[in-house]
Amino acid sequence: MDHVESGEHRTPLEQRLAGLRGGAPQRSLDARALAALAANPGCRRRAVLDAAGVDKTALAARLGSPAPFGQSPFAIARGLRFEKRVKSEGYGELLELLRRHLSLAPPYGRDDDCPVRIAELVADPRLPAQRVASTRAALARATESPGVWTLLDHPLLRLEVAGSPVLLEPDLVVVQPDGRWTVVEIKSFPILDGSADPAKVGAAARQAAVYVLALRATAAEMSGEKPSDDPYDPYARPTGLAGAAADTVLLVCPRDFSNRAAAALLDVRKPMAVTRRQLDRLTRVEQLLDALPEGASFDLAASGADSGGAVGSLAAAYSPDCLAACELAFHCRDEARCAGSVEVLGRGVRGELGSLDTVAAALAAASGTNGTGEANAANGRDGAGTGSGNAGGAGEEAAARLAYAAALRAEALSPALAAAAGGRG
């Protein structure tokens, strides 16, 4: 979701981030982008660019590494058509799914005849603060009026991430007659014979988990309560109004490629705990901005702006997973390749290599040309399979294992090489 700033009072941090962006409109984070940021909390580059609302697609093109990234326009159009279809005719089909799948606490039953109310929300994208305020007011009114189904169509929620506010817009939030708040996520991928693509369902669950976290943060601010701060307990449930947001979401998809809708409940407690723990690990934006050189700018409209230098001053945490989640992934991959960084081989390999942070250093350790020679191979024989040995640290241990692996490979291949040489002779 994009929005145009309204010119309202901004904090010094927001003013500084707006200065980095220049005259370009702010690109707000959606739940999918926030989940991708949470999955790679060590990437300071993405954290600053997302906080500043920079258009990373345009920035990647400016840097010479455009990425074929994002949803197909046909998929987006199909999703919008399906969402419009589900919400048509006074939300009749959607209400049928809500009553069928969302259980109600006594005295309400599954076959309830509770009335339905459509909340009136500010929809102007140029007024984000007013949209957030109208969403909170609608939630408060619905909570104070039990016995009614209240539908909030595209509400706007606020969540603080690394000290910077993020605005999130779920497809729908439902306040049930018993007072519980449920996020409804509408997707265009089909449910075939009662099952759907696990990868797409997982991505939808992670995205919806971000909405639930924002909904709980909103409830906590409304009531003055503090939600549970234990990120390691996925089943911790806050008390009071902060606990009104359900930890299950309703996923609505087409049934068998038709225009008819099917729905399923998703338990998002685990993705909520994972996302919250990862968000807590993010460095505050104020600290990240200190790494930028004086006069740094990401203003794509300014002809003299050194966008490349500003981007290069921010440390990236590239991995091949970024190619499916970030618009700047191709630029960061080119940087990692030029530097000979082992990050291009993936997080698993990077973790195994310890302090060997370049491909050249790893190859030198494997060939014994890094000054340790046969001692590394001996250490590898002594400590292989146990992680012990005479290595004094993770880098020495990795070097020993690489040397030992190279020795085993040479030993295994030597008969074949000798036979081949004899045959040629």
pLDDT tens for each residue of 74-87? 777 888 888 999 99
For residues 385 and 321, state if they share a domain: no
pLDDT for the residue 370: 56
Residue type, 337: R
pLDDT for the residue 8: 52
Average pLDDT over residues 52-62: 89
- For the chain, the average pLDDT equals 81
For residues 298 and 197, state if they share a domain: no
Residues in the chain: 425
**Angle at Cα 354 formed by Cα 349 and Cα 356, nearest 5°?**
90
For residues 160 and 265, state if they share a domain: yes
Query: Rounded distance, CA 261 to CA 93, Å?
Result: 8
18 inside domain? yes
For residues 77 and 63, state if they share a domain: no
For residues 45 and 84, state if they share a domain: no
61 inside domain? yes
The two tokens of residue 400 are 């020993």
314 inside domain? yes
Q: Which residue has better confidence, 32 or 137?
A: 137
pLDDT for the residue 266: 95
> Domain range holding 226?
73-280
323 inside domain? yes
Q: DSSP assignment, residue 184? A: E
Domain edge (last residue) among 280, 305, 326? 280
Determine the straight-line distance between the first and last CA of the chain, rounded to whole angstroms.
Answer: 70
Domain edge (last residue) among 230, 254, 280? 280
Residue type, 135: T
For residues 16 and 140, state if they share a domain: no
For residues 320 and 193, state if they share a domain: no
For residues 65 and 78, state if they share a domain: no
Q: CB atoms < 10 A from the CB of 100, how many?
A: 10
Least confident of 175-184, 223-232, 310-319: 223-232
Describe the chain by its helix, strand, coil percentages, rounded to 5.
50, 10, 40
Q: Which of 280, 273, 279 is nearest to 231 (CA)?
A: 273
Alpha-carbon distance values, 340 to 255, 314, 358 (Å): 48, 18, 5
Average pLDDT over residues 339-353: 84
Q: Where is 263: in which H helix or E strand?
A: strand 261-267
Whether the per-residue pLDDT at 388 is higher than 60: the answer is no
Q: How many domains does the chain have?
A: 3
For residues 315 and 348, state if they share a domain: no
Whether the per-residue pLDDT at 103 is higher than 90: the answer is no
Least confident of 173-187, 218-232, 323-337, 355-369: 218-232
Query: Rounded distance, CA 287 to CA 245, Å?
Result: 32
Residue type, 230: D
- The b/e string for 316-344 (b: 16+ C-beta within 10 A; e otherwise) is bbbbeebeebbbbbbbbbebbeeeebbbb
Alpha helices in 53-87 (DSSP H): 56-62, 73-86
Average pLDDT over residues 347-373: 75
Alpha helices in 65-191 (DSSP H): 73-86, 88-101, 128-144
Of the chain, the percentage scoring pLDDT greater than 90 comes to: 28
Average pLDDT over residues 285-303: 84
pLDDT for the residue 31: 81
Q: Which residue has better confidence, 175 or 7?
A: 175
pLDDT for the residue 345: 87
Is the distance from CB of 397 to CB of 424 less than 8 angstroms?
Answer: no
pLDDT for the residue 80: 86
Whether the per-residue pLDDT at 291 is higher than 60: the answer is yes
Q: CB atoms < 10 A from the CB of 166, how many?
A: 23
Q: Which of 178, 181, 193 is nearest to 264 (CA)?
A: 193
**Phi-psi domain of 287 (left: phi exceeds 0; alpha: psi -120 through 50; beta: other):** alpha
Query: Rounded distance, CA 322 to CA 282, Å?
Result: 17
Report for 213-217, 225-229, 361-365: range of highest mean pLDDT: 213-217
User: How many Å separate Cα 145 from the centre of its chain?
Assistant: 35
